[in-house]
Structure 1
Amino acid sequence: MRREDNKYRRFYTESDISSNNSIPVSTDLFHLYSDANKAAEELLASCKQFRSLAQHARRFVAARQNGQNPESPSGLKQLLGSIAPVWLTPQQDLPERNLQIVQQQLELFVQSGNLITSNELSAKVTSCVSALDVADESTPGIQVLGIPTCNRNQMLVRCVESYLSNPVNGSGISHLHIVDDSDQTDPDNQNRQAINKLCRRHETNLLWIDRSYRTRFAEQLSKAGDIPEDVTQFALFGDSRIPFTAGASRNTLLLQAAGTKSTQVDDDTINEIRPAPNMQDELALSTEESHKFVFFPGRDAVSEFTKQHKPNGSGTGNNFFSHHNTLLGRHPGVLVHNEDEVDYDRLSQDRLLKKMRKQDAHIAVTFLGALGDSGMNHHWQRLARNEHSFRKLVEDESSYHEAMCTRQLFRFVSHRSIGDTIYCMGMNMGLDTRRLLPPFMPVQRNEDGTFGVLLHRYFPTACKGYLPYAIRHDPPGRDFSVDKEEALRVGPLRTNDILVAVLLALSEQNDNMGNNGAKNLAAVGKHIKNMSGAPEKVFQEEVRDYCADLLTIRMTFVQQLLNERIDAPDYWKRDAEQVVANFKSLRDSADLCVPSDLPGSTGERLALLQDLMKKYGDLLVHWPAMWRAAVALDKVETLSC
């Protein structure tokens, strides 16, 4: 993808992200802006697309003239850098002196390597992969499909049938693992018998993991790995005080598949593959959120879209497992080396290239998109859509309000992509369980968010892969839309929202993590245990600070959008202003770090959070030993199906 050599975009190095004052700031910028250091950070963050220095300068000066951003905390610049906005070039008269000083600052960024041309970025990628001495070995295909389920008998049968019926060209799986956490009875085991029949028809081995099986599995892991029983119990069962334990079921599936490649899908998904609109052939490298969205007014519109957009033929384009296999477990550098052309429009950090230089780099998880229910807790992020998705969102006021409120959408990427962000949606995942992966938080929702942060920040050789296809997501009894107030809501924070803030903050504080994911897990686990062992007031103040920092980052991000999108419609601006106000209100509230999803009074919820985080810290410390024990148990087939 060649462009003129006089057009530049930002590029962050590891030192830019970890150090608060690492980017150069010109003397004249201090004369122009009283907050020159902050202004320089904002200027660099705004240079997201390849443009001339003059164009970058005009956009920034106009944004600054339009309004000031709220305070930004030190650190966490990586998150802000990955989501900084892009919008139209403002057409307005701007002070010539301001433009000159800002352009001088941009030239300083060019000299420091923080702004680079397309050719320079291409050279960085080429240099990264040319030095590799890694054979392009074919990796074994996915063998295991894992499904966590709870009280969804008929839906589970629908799900299993869709995945087992669809493999083509001999690329199906050989083992189906179901973790059944149901507390409702299944008369005469009809549900299990129906799935057993499907497995026999499709020559797939079934492992039905009920509570009694998990109890024996936990005992075996404790014994084989010399792991405290309360740790394995928390990993595989969660906590008796918390009814939602999908993360514990996911951990069970991880450990059962340890040693081979696997997938996990939710029981409310259907294996109806749909290709991304305008799919591109190139492989893409991305350190930024790269999903695009099409919004639907309701389920009927999704069904109609599904009928009209079917895969061509019955080849691998219609095979869920084949799609995951194209990237899962592969070395990212080898994949790039084998491509004729690579798209790097969203490659803005050296972190991904640093990973790709490692001999043992690999794509640890892969994702397809989703068609149907969004599976997302918040809608405010839709205000921040880039390029095509955003322009479609705001082109008409009536459809805009509808799109902000609907839960029905098509989420996709346009390219096969290798990424390095915290994104993780557990709805459908390919997992390279041949290697150590982090655990899910065993209790409460957003357990996949904690997994995504751990993998991104604490596993320096692990990358993520995204495929330009989507599966259906059709959960029961869920409204197809929410009201506008709910759509713009940013809180209250739940247990795992708080834990994500803690994990992000701790990764910022630790600049000396090594290449060993197991040691990194143990280190952060010990830190969380120490945090949780502090007096209640000390613990709560530390957690509150971490949550406030993350909310300030998000508030700053939305305020930047308001400043830069000068020509955006007023109805979008009003909603963005409301989201900024919502973030500020939540950040400044007395109940900021009181988890909304835990039972009891404020004091009881805070005490339970502290106890859960201590258990989670213990889990991280012992998880590598648990993984090794699971691999050994699988090899000697200690447990029978």
Structure 2
Amino acid sequence: MAPNDFDNSIHDFDTTDDGSGPEPSPELWRHTPFTAFVAGEDTRAVYVRDHLPVLMPSFVVDFALRCTEFRSLPGHIARYAESQAWGSAEIEALRSWQRKLVRAGLFISRTELYTRAAAIRESNATPAKIGVIGFSTAGDRADLLLRALGSFAENVQTHGRAVDFLVADSAVDAGHRGRLRGLAGERAADLGVTLRYLGEQEKRLFATELIRRSQCRPEAVEFALFDPFGAGSAGGANRNALMLHEAGSVLAAVADDVLCELASTDSGDFKLALFSDTDPYDRWVFADRADALEAVSFEPRDYLAEQEKLLGRNLGDLLAGVPVNEVNVRKLGLTFLHLLDSGAARIRTTHLGHAGNPAIPTSSFYAPHKGTERELAAEAEIRYRASFASRGALARLATPSVGDGTVSPGMAIGLDHRELLPPFFPVLPAEDLVFGATMGACCPGALSGHLPLCLRHETNGDNAPLHPGEINRARQGSVFEFSQILRAIMAGHQPATQADTTARMQKLGRYICEFAAQPTLDFREALHRIVLTHESQKIMALEHALFTEIDAPEFWRRDIRDFLDHSRDRMQHEDFDIPYELKAGRTNEENRILMQKLIASYGRLLEDWPAIVAAAWDLRSEGKQFSASAKAD
């Protein structure tokens, strides 16, 4: 924005405007990515990319750092002055810096953000057309897979779509594989669809050829497609198999316990939302499973067409014709602003919400969230307790949303693999969260698109998430996952911002390998610091929720206090650094050795992945495929 535009925009501000409403509003601002260096007792040298350093008083820099949401500048100043208990003299001193902050590049307006984003368009971009739906399965889950296959086949046939179906199976038991393959083949024949199968035998043949073609380390391909260390939950390996099988194309990957029943959650308040560094979903838990399903209205919709509304699209094309005040920027963070500097912004993955099973090990994720049954009156404690036992949850969006990979749910994901995407972490739960973080670090301009739609998620088993009051009795351990450790490691890496995807991916892989190559005691020390930082941040967030949610019922506050006490206590136990999903079956020392191996293996996989994908691409272009027709062995 030019200086005269700024001068014309600083009058008649609504100091309560936070950018969350669609009505016309005065110009709104937030701070950009910048670094402040000490240049004296009360002076800072502030550096913004492509700008010369500017000297500023420390109180001005502190003010700027607090402006993390789009608001009018007078609104920002009023909030800051209130937090500091300032008088008129201090307020006037800060006001005198408004224009300098903008001209130095420390602030960006909503209009400038919109203009920059709308200008990003690729002339060679082509629409994404999904040609394959891939299913990930494992173990004795043939009944679930058959249900999912029938559901998605019916949807594509109803809407006249011609796609193939591909099953990636990580079952270890040959009997389970044979039963699933035979039943799936029969079901596919009944449905009149083409179904291919990638099990142990097919993946082994595929891996052998990938190693020969790519000249990569055999252990990297082995880790990509299998579970060589017996860590468990090889869903990520299945997704890697699907991506390699379909290298160079666009595909949809879904879990075997998803049903293709779609419900719209679009409120119509905005045309598009932009976000980063946060979770864009509203999440609710219900006292009864039926309540979760009745909270949405399932309706006939073309699943693939819905994914294709965002998948492969440029951000500029999406913004064309959408007024700036119909774009919600309330959850937009610094990562999005960094991403715009790459000069590209294309949606490489698409995601949906879900209704039904929450797909999490404990309710500690849901309990502090705003949208839960704990908002009910105090006499509803029984209903509150039941909400954690029901396994009924809803994750939804009110607006089509585009952002970074902070949240990248893999339950039903669209993948634009016409250009290089990273591998999924092959084993353990939450591999999709690692994938999102890796995409953000490696793929310049890559965005995730999130649709205001819910899929039905219904899995087997009666195990319910534990509510905070049960954690201490039911499972002695800190509640975090290995994926959070890996994401924290990657967060310490500085990507080469001007490098291409291959160079970025290999650089990140080397960084992860170096982290894992530390001597045992140094690795353990680094691991301890990561876990303690994670637990500390969680405790601060929960204490903040207790402080701010003054109207929350006492039973909820009691649960959160108990969970906080438990978390603080677990920080003093010898196994505080062991993730939740690794607690059983191994000693603490065995788990630490396993984690070091897993981290090193992912680093090597990232280094070799570009060559592995190139080999898979060549094989596919030559018409060679290693999946088998689904039929009884």
| Matched residue SS, 2:261 | strand
Match of 2:511 among 507, 520, 527: 527
Relative to the length of structure 2, the TM-score reads 0.81
Residue 163 of structure 1 aligns with which residue? 152
Name whichever of 280-289 and 209-218 sits farther off: 280-289
Q: 2:408–2:448: 8 Å Cα contact kept in structure 1?
A: no
- Within the alignment, does 1:333 sit opposite 2:322 as a pair? no
Unaligned 5+ segments in structure 2 are 1-21, 38-43, 48-53, 629-633
**CA deviation map 1:568-606 (0-9, x unaligned):** 554444444445444444455443323454443222221
Residue 499 of structure 1 aligns with which residue? 486
**Cα distance in 2 between the residues matched to 1:574 and 1:114:** 49
- Within the alignment, does 1:310 sit opposite 2:333 as a pair? no
Residue 286 of structure 2 aligns with which residue? 296
Match of 2:165 among 171, 176, 179: 176
**Cα distance in 1 between the residues matched to 2:610 and 2:26:** 48
Residue 13 of structure 1 aligns with which residue? 33
**Cα distance in 1 between the residues matched to 2:81 and 2:288:** 41
- Match for 1:205: what amino acid? T
Match of 1:604 among 590, 594, 597: 590
Name whichever of 214-223 and 250-259 sits farther off: 250-259
Q: 1:526 to 1:481 in 2, by over 3 A?
A: closer
**CA deviation map 1:120-140 (0-9, x unaligned):** 30232124323x453485414
**Cα distance in 1 between the residues matched to 2:254 and 2:577:** 31
Q: 1:155–1:267: 8 Å Cα contact kept in structure 2?
A: yes
Q: 1:56 to 1:385 in 2, by over 3 A?
A: farther
Aligned counterparts, 1:237-252, within 5 A: 237-252=226-241
- Within the alignment, does 1:433 sit opposite 2:417 as a pair? yes
Residue 539 of structure 1 aligns with which residue? 523
Q: 1:617 to 1:299 in 2, by over 3 A?
A: same
- Within the alignment, does 1:446 sit opposite 2:430 as a pair? yes
**Cα distance in 2 between the residues matched to 1:283 and 1:57:** 29
Residue 195 of structure 2 aligns with which residue? 206
Q: 1:333 to 1:581 in 2, by over 3 A?
A: farther
**Cα distance in 2 between the residues matched to 1:411 and 1:240:** 33
Residue 144 of structure 1 aligns with which residue? 132
Match of 1:382 among 357, 366, 384: 366
- Match for 1:491: what amino acid? S
Aligned counterparts, 1:95-244, within 5 A: 97=87, 111-113=100-102, 120-130=109-119, 132=120, 134-135=122-123, 138-150=126-138, 151-167=140-156, 170=159, 172-184=161-173, 191-200=180-189, 203-244=192-233
Question: How much has 1:320 moved relative to structure 2?
Answer: 1.5
Q: 2:32–2:106: 8 Å Cα contact kept in structure 1?
A: no
Question: How much has 1:21 moved relative to structure 2?
Answer: 8.8
**Cα distance in 1 between the residues matched to 2:507 and 2:158:** 45
Residue 634 of structure 1 aligns with which residue? 620
**CA deviation map 1:534-590 (0-9, x unaligned):** 210011112222232333333333333344445555444444444544444445544
**CA deviation map 1:96-144 (0-9, x unaligned):** 64x97589668857852499999930232124323x4534854141011
**CA deviation map 1:459-486 (0-9, x unaligned):** 2221000001111111101335534424
Question: How much has 1:422 moved relative to structure 2?
Answer: 1.3
Relative to the length of structure 1, the TM-score reads 0.80
Name whichever of 48-57 and 550-559 sits farther off: 48-57
Q: 2:266–2:400: 8 Å Cα contact kept in structure 1?
A: no
Q: 2:361–2:466: 8 Å Cα contact kept in structure 1?
A: no
Question: How much has 1:522 moved relative to structure 2?
Answer: 1.1
Q: Count matched residues.
A: 582
Identity %: 20
Question: How much has 1:379 moved relative to structure 2?
Answer: 2.8
Root-mean-square deviation over aligned CA pairs: 3.7
**Cα distance in 2 between the residues matched to 1:554 and 1:240:** 30
Question: How much has 1:276 moved relative to structure 2?
Answer: 0.8
Question: How much has 1:396 moved relative to structure 2?
Answer: 2.2
Question: How much has 1:453 moved relative to structure 2?
Answer: 1.3
- Match for 1:603: what amino acid? E
- Within the alignment, does 1:472 sit opposite 2:461 as a pair? no
Question: How much has 1:621 moved relative to structure 2?
Answer: 0.8
Q: 1:403 to 1:547 in 2, by over 3 A?
A: same
Match of 2:302 among 319, 330, 349: 319
Q: 1:260–1:433: 8 Å Cα contact kept in structure 2?
A: yes
- Match for 2:622: what amino acid? V
Name whichever of 466-475 and 271-280 sits farther off: 271-280
Unaligned 5+ segments in structure 1 are 30-35, 62-94
Residue 14 of structure 2 aligns with which residue? none
**Cα distance in 1 between the residues matched to 2:23 and 2:498:** 36
- Match for 1:592: what amino acid? F
| Matched residue SS, 1:274 | strand
Q: 1:290–1:346: 8 Å Cα contact kept in structure 2?
A: no
| Matched residue SS, 1:166 | helix
- Match for 1:434: what amino acid? R
Q: 1:247 to 1:109 in 2, by over 3 A?
A: farther
Question: How much has 1:263 moved relative to structure 2?
Answer: 1.0
Question: How much has 1:232 moved relative to structure 2?
Answer: 0.8
Question: How much has 1:203 moved relative to structure 2?
Answer: 5.0
